[in-house]
Amino acid sequence: MSVLPVESSATLLNALMLFLVSIEPYLLSLLIGPFQASGVAVLNFASETFAVDVAGLNLIIGLFDHQVTIEERKFVSPELVSRYRQNRNVSVFAAILFVLSILPIFWSWEINGTPARFYLWIAILVFIWIGRLIRRHEKRRS
């Protein structure tokens, strides 16, 4: 977000985002990899915390995108405002889905022995990537 001024009141959001980014690898290592937690309760807590972490990151990015879309501030050209609004909407939608994945039902449902929560996260990421590819393709056509 290089278009936001430094004097912005977003310093707290930047600090929170830095914290969330810094704990994400630790939480992910508790879920997968050589340092995976052994207890079911610890895995459940780590997955819930990871979902809150990623939801927070998406929400903060959505808030930054929203600040850019406020037309009175004129941070970006009017042609780019709709693109930032789309990014904002996708980020907020992804944050909502990550928060919903905390519901116990997504932990108790399993697909091939893996909680449905993980498959929901993969679906969210695929949705975001496909959206970016579509926007990139539209940008090249115009």
pLDDT digits (tens, 9 = 90+) for 83-121: 888 888 999 999 999 999 999 999 999 999 889 999 999
In a domain, 47, yes or no: yes
In a domain, 4, yes or no: no
Name which of 9-13, 30-34, 84-88, 118-122 the model is least confident about: 9-13
In a domain, 38, yes or no: yes
In terms of residue numbers, what domain contains 130? 11-141
In a domain, 2, yes or no: no
Give, in order, the Cα–Cα distances in Å from 29 to each of 45, 75, 102, 111, 115.
Answer: 13, 38, 18, 21, 17
**How many structural domains compose the chain?**
1
In a domain, 53, yes or no: yes
In a domain, 93, yes or no: yes
Of 141, 136, 135, 102, which is closest to residue 118 (Cα–Cα)?
A: 102
In a domain, 100, yes or no: yes
